[in-house]
Amino acid sequence: TDSNYAAQYRLPGTFAPVADYGLLSAAAEAAAGLGIRAAVGNVLSSDVFYGDDPDALKQWRKMGVLAVEMEAAALYMNAARCGKKALCILTVSDCPLTGESLPAKERETGFNDMIRIALAIA
């Protein structure tokens, strides 16, 4: 993350928030069982979705980051702080590297698939 969200916890170092492995594994299995194509990997939680530095996203991509979003790190930090499990399930709708966007119908299908996975593991 490039967010300063963790500063509120006054930790003596840098915290790398992650998904609960049990939830992640269950979601991956559910997606496969539902015939939904899914990718599992790191995402960048950013305070800005469209930044001014065009090379920044390329640098994150070199580190294996699959997507950019704005909430997962905070969700995982809050869960860790409260001793709870958390999982962020995302649908990719736009690519800031290429400027491509999904058409409305495909975006809707992607959101529905994401919801089906979440309901399957609830």
DSSP 40: -
91 token code pair: 């649908």
**Pick the catalytic residue: 47, 52, 94, 113?**
94
Q: Is 94 a catalytic residue?
A: yes
Cβ count near 30 (within 10 Å): 19
Other C-beta atoms within 10 Å of 38: how many? Answer: 15
One DSSP character per residue, 7-33 reads GGG--SS-------HHHHHHHHHHHHH
Name the β-bridge partners of 69. 45
Q: Which residues are catalytic, by number?
A: 94
